[in-house]
Structure 1
């Protein structure tokens, strides 16, 4: 009798709720999780919220879509925040379309509760709850620094505990929640947001080719090789296979702390022998290393405070209309050192303005093609990123640099760092920025975990080899013919 009454009142409660219904509209573009949001254009606003109805955090809008493998969620906030640092925000997902299972919160039964600031989540289906990690659900959130706009990916076949899948219904419910007294909800209290998972995906993700589109292009690569990976006898053979597969012309590497230029030169002469001459290797500062098939006419350290891992290299190339390339290799300060990263990016832009800019038509331009590449450790403040991609430090009409933002060859993601032994979710720490005089014609992040067997055999690699090499992934770009300054 009491059991029947319980379910009766649950039914009456659910029927009394205001339901914000979405019947599976699709985005026009394939979503690539890179933190830039360009591909969300054309997606309808699935759920919006009042301004200033929260306490510390104010949700404004949320979009949802999916492809054949991932659920994608985009979140907008009224004020900038770092979602990967401490906060009281939660993402709640009811994956079985059943309010009687999971956590009861605002009219839904959430099997998955993810604490953004906690950096872990909870899975609960019936009575007990279990802690889960970002690996358990393949959780990714970008950007990794402060923003008002974030995008999230969660694997649709995620089965974090006891092989129980989270998404067992076509219709799911999603809630954003600031878990404190007076905290904001999206949708608001008394409303339930539904999303219908799309099953018919017209164009599944196609792996990117790693081959250069033209023989005359210049291939540049950057990779943090994690604590002298090239001279580690266990990892060294795998590094050799990766470089052979990618066939770069210029490489800037980080964390070559104890690697000697001569021994690295011998490795590249063995791995990738040149028809004429041999590889040029320069070790700069503490752990920055440049490897180039082209002559390096100048290496100029840019020391900022205690950081000895920034340098400008002037490289002579044979690419049409690109006689000299200026490459700035970087390894910015790590972790909570926001002030240091701000000073380091300011120093880079000051160096370029002082030595490599010209005045034309009441404007200030770079007089050479310039690439800034390496491990930027961009977490915390967004100011170091803005220092590079805006014109606030240059006095120019337009920004000097564009964020290349390549994505992985085997999935629609742009994160460059992952270490599943740590609580941090995969992050985009490594970047390539290029100036307007350069023409990028192909780019990618080399990740092979989901690559097909034939491709792996061709490269002589195993799916998990890159995890053995480093916690960072290699970034690759092919530059074609350049344009002359106006």
Structure 2
């Protein structure tokens, strides 16, 4: 008897969930190919009309436009209905972006979030297309375009369409992170699915392949070398009337040989060099007191040349008076450049002197690091380094084949190779375009921490707007500032609150010592001065169950190794003493966060001390003690930049020193798991990302340091699950709704994981959960809350539900 109830419940759910979505009832287009603009500088206006003969009652309206133009900020675009109702679709946004190819829809993304040649749904600049709801469709529809500065670029109205709906329309989320990697006979495509789809449609040069809705990768083969492949991808649902998502695109050329390019991140981790074969050199062939170079590796992507090398100890500081020189024959021609080891070196970089030389026509010209974009890691002393430099710079370009030589410049010094040079062929187009790290948190419950050296009170020295926009864009919970010398904690708090309010309401709290200031949305319970640094006991109990020890440091600069080491010893001793008889003894699982401008530009021991608790001056500061709760070291986030494979946080393009990794966030991995982290360099962000987060291109010029952000969450012993997966088969389909209904109404017993059955994440398991799941599966009502829809994860929200009878996703 109870089983007979299930179909009736499902039918009732289908009715109340809103039914199905309508296909467009009518689409009428015009393709005038109408030129406008000119060189006289006088604003130009044009109009084009289309006639709709059917009189439908409008419930929803989409207007698609295809305008070729070189500066879309010059354009004003309006649509006018037969009744005379006008709406501004585009209102001079977009800067110098090219072309306006979008479908204007109230259900689209916010105007300006994506580039205007995105080709899909975007909200109007001013107002809503809902103003046409209730009107009739019959009559003349007009599109008006004004080019306010026609001298900038001529334009062409290629086409536009009015799409009429007699019922409300929703739009699926687009495929994300679509990346295409070419191979010799095809390509490999990868992507992520932001919601559940019934199918994925991958189109290659006009031919569509239908894949399962859970697919996140596909390999194509059977193409000849150097074939051009143009791809687009959409997600679809098969419920009646449902629209597909907007397409994501990529284009590649198949390789004419095995791939050689490598996506190296200059972060001193080196695991990304695993596919590169080094040129080796025997140990023990250095001159007395010289550098014994052991290996040299070379790789590249489309933008940069990468070089990695190591040598026998002791450690050296790469840019402090060592004698290591890199030679590059940029055209593989021994008759041009400096004659050395059988090659003609056109470019020479002296690491110790921090100076480069271009050799050409029998003469030489000096240049600085900025001229070729050279970056090295680590910034501290080491026996192993990796560097990058631009393949094409204002002063030199690398050819398709180069030769490389690395030498100790002492008389008779070691070189790699010992004779001749390393020949390297440069490729292009083998790697997918880098995808920007999103600025938003992975989970809303993550706690975000920021460190930012704002350069001698710059928020009050004319850079308040640039710095403030960045603070608002990242929306952190805890900010650690350095170099606020002449403004108080209260003034710092006031500055932050003038740009952003604490998430979840409340007020900002502050603490500080010397130039180090902390601004937190959590109360500050206690403060300790540590030389010029500050430690604060911050009340994160509501988020993590315990307070957090936050240490904000600005260590001595430059050649003051002794001063830096002394303050690192002091901080390590403070943590040890707090663990023995302080707040960390009564709260042993309290997280520790050490952040700030560490000025690690000397010996690596200072960094080691902070991470491991290895105190050097034990006569002053006492014995060593590992800082983390489990008796191990802290972890450095070593965050990379949002849009570049670099981790440097300081740069002075007019100075002598190379960009450096100076600003750190270290954390207790025994009690914290890392979330998203990044270094913010606005000059490298896409126009869409800048617009989405209210940033401007030059905002990172507010300081010579870059803002560093990292998110954290408590280490959890709870099982991972997939939201909505009530039958725990790690997939979302109608069987999950049936399983939920059986548990709720058919005496099927309690759910094994109530958290997974809580489809709407409201903290309770009831009839609204299968309703929500079915609406997502069959009406495109939007994705379920995390974790999911593709990958299992932890519940980001606290509630009384549990998964006591479930061991977690496989």
TM-score by length of 1: 0.86
Q: 1:384-416: per-residue Cα shift (whole Å, max 9, x none)?
A: 011123364544586320111000012100000
Is residue 492–residue 517 contact of structure 2 (8 Å, CA) maintained in 1?
no
Q: 1:25 to 1:346 in 2, by over 3 A?
A: farther
1:158 pairs with 2:393: yes
1:458 pairs with 2:680: no
Shift of 1:125: 2.7
Q: Which of the numbers 644, 666, 686 marks the counterpart of 1:433?
A: 666
1:317 pairs with 2:550: no
1:329 pairs with 2:564: no
SS of 1:91's equivalent? strand
Provide the residue aligned with 2:277 in structure 1. Answer: 45
Q: 1:174-207: per-residue Cα shift (whole Å, max 9, x none)?
A: 0001122111111003x22111112132322211
Provide the residue aligned with 2:443 in structure 1. Answer: 214
Q: Which of the numbers 318, 322, 325 marks the counterpart of 1:83?
A: 318
Shift of 1:88: 1.9
Provide the residue aligned with 1:282 in structure 2. Answer: 511
Is residue 100–residue 109 contact of structure 1 (8 Å, CA) maintained in 2?
yes
In the alignment, the residues of structure 2 paired with residue 184 and residue 413 of structure 1 have an alpha-carbon distance, to the nearest angstrom, of 29
Q: 1:262 to 1:415 in 2, by over 3 A?
A: same
Q: How does 1:43-442 map to 2 (within 5 A)?
A: 43-55=275-287, 56-79=290-313, 80-160=315-395, 165-167=396-398, 169-189=399-419, 191-232=420-461, 234-274=462-502, 276-284=505-513, 286-303=514-531, 308=532, 310-317=533-540, 320-356=543-579, 367-390=589-612, 392-393=614-615, 394-396=624-626, 399-436=632-669, 437-442=671-676
Shift of 1:334: 0.6
In the alignment, the residues of structure 2 paired with residue 24 and residue 131 of structure 1 have an alpha-carbon distance, to the nearest angstrom, of 37
Q: 1:59-91: per-residue Cα shift (whole Å, max 9, x none)?
A: 101111111211111110111111110122110
Is residue 458–residue 464 contact of structure 2 (8 Å, CA) maintained in 1?
yes
Shift of 1:25: 6.6
How many residue pairs match? The answer is: 440
Structure 1: stretches of 5+ with no match in the other structure: 1-22, 359-364
Is residue 322–residue 482 contact of structure 1 (8 Å, CA) maintained in 2?
no
Is residue 24–residue 196 contact of structure 1 (8 Å, CA) maintained in 2?
no
Q: 1:423-457: per-residue Cα shift (whole Å, max 9, x none)?
A: 00100111111112111111000012121112222
Structure 2: stretches of 5+ with no match in the other structure: 1-256, 582-586, 616-623, 718-810
In the alignment, the residues of structure 2 paired with residue 458 and residue 125 of structure 1 have an alpha-carbon distance, to the nearest angstrom, of 46
Is residue 301–residue 431 contact of structure 2 (8 Å, CA) maintained in 1?
no
In the alignment, the residues of structure 2 paired with residue 135 and residue 145 of structure 1 have an alpha-carbon distance, to the nearest angstrom, of 20
In the alignment, the residues of structure 1 paired with residue 376 and residue 540 of structure 2 have an alpha-carbon distance, to the nearest angstrom, of 38
In the alignment, the residues of structure 1 paired with residue 264 and residue 529 of structure 2 have an alpha-carbon distance, to the nearest angstrom, of 39
Structure number with greater CO (CA < 8 Å, separation at least 6) is 1
In the alignment, the residues of structure 1 paired with residue 260 and residue 571 of structure 2 have an alpha-carbon distance, to the nearest angstrom, of 42
SS of 2:608's equivalent? helix
Is residue 511–residue 536 contact of structure 2 (8 Å, CA) maintained in 1?
no
Q: CA RMSD in A?
A: 2.0
Shift of 1:144: 1.0
Is residue 370–residue 654 contact of structure 2 (8 Å, CA) maintained in 1?
no
In the alignment, the residues of structure 1 paired with residue 590 and residue 580 of structure 2 have an alpha-carbon distance, to the nearest angstrom, of 8
TM-score by length of 2: 0.53
Shift of 1:483: 4.6
